[in-house]
Structure 1
Amino acid sequence: MPPRRPRRPSESPALIAFGRQMRRLREAKGLKQETIAHLTQVSGPQVSKIENGKKRATRSFVEFVDEHLEANGALINLWEDLNKDGHPVPIWFDWPAIEADAAMLICWQHSVIPGLAQTPEYALAIVHGNQEAADLRISRQAILSRDDERGPAIVLFLIEEQVLYHQVGTAETMRKQLEHLIEISMLPNVTVQVVLSRGDHDGNMGAFVLATMEDRSEVAYAETAIRAITTDDPADLAVLARTLVDLRARAVTQDMSRELIKKVAEERWT
Structure 2
Amino acid sequence: MPQRPKTLTPSRGPLDLFGSEVRRYRELGKLSLAQLGNQIPYSSSMISAVERGESGCERIFAEECDRVLDTREALTHLHDGLFDGRTAAFPEHFADWPQYETTAETLRSYQPLVIHGLLQTPSYAEVLLYGDQQAVQSRIDRQIILTRNEPPPPRLIYILPERVLRSRVGTAAVMYEQLHQLADAVSRRLSVQVIPDGAPHPGNLGGFTIATLPGNLQTAYTLSEPHGRILDGLSELERLHQRFADISTYALPAELSAALIKEIAEELWKP
Residue 199 of structure 1: how far off its partner (Å): 5.3
SS at match of 1:250: coil
The letter for the 2-side match of 1:227 is: H
Q: Which residue does the alignment assign to 2:203?
A: 203
Does 1:138 pair with 2:145?
Answer: no
Picking from 111, 119, 122, the partner of 1:120 is: 122
Residue 243 of structure 1: how far off its partner (Å): 0.8
SS at match of 1:202: coil
Q: Which residue does the alignment assign to 1:258?
A: 258
Which stretches in structure 1 are left out of the alignment for 5+ residues? Answer: 1-7, 17-89
- The aligned length equals 186
SS at match of 1:219: strand
Q: Which residue does the alignment assign to 2:113?
A: 111
**1:206-255 CA distances to partner (integer Å, 9 max, x unpaired)?**
01111000111111001111121001101111111111111110000111
The letter for the 1-side match of 2:141 is: S
SS at match of 2:249: helix
- How big is the alpha-carbon RMSD for the aligned residues of Structure 1 and Structure 2? 2.0
How do 1:38-57 residues align onto structure 2 when only pairs under 5 Å count? none
Which 4+ residue blocks in structure 1 deviate beyond 2 angstroms?
A: 90-93, 196-202
User: How many Å separate the matches in 2 of 1:118 and 1:249?
Assistant: 25
Give yes or no for contact 2:199–2:250 (8 Å, CA) kept in 1: no
SS at match of 1:179: helix
SS at match of 1:203: coil
C-alpha change, 1:176 and 1:91, in structure 2 (3 Å) is closer
Which stretches in structure 2 are left out of the alignment for 5+ residues? Answer: 1-11, 21-91
User: How many Å separate the matches in 1 of 2:269 and 2:214?
Assistant: 40
How do 1:83-94 residues align onto structure 2 when only pairs under 5 Å count? 92-94=94-96
Residue 198 of structure 1: how far off its partner (Å): 2.9
SS at match of 1:215: helix
**1:45-67 CA distances to partner (integer Å, 9 max, x unpaired)?**
xxxxxxxxxxxxxxxxxxxxxxx
Give yes or no for contact 1:146–1:153 (8 Å, CA) kept in 2: no
Q: Which residue does the alignment assign to 2:215?
A: 215
Residue 11 of structure 1: how far off its partner (Å): 5.3
The letter for the 1-side match of 2:243 is: T
Q: Which residue does the alignment assign to 1:239?
A: 239
The letter for the 1-side match of 2:244 is: L
Q: Which residue does the alignment assign to 1:193?
A: 193
**Which of the two has higher C-alpha Rg?**
2
Residue 12 of structure 1: how far off its partner (Å): 4.5
TM-score, normalization: structure 1? Answer: 0.65
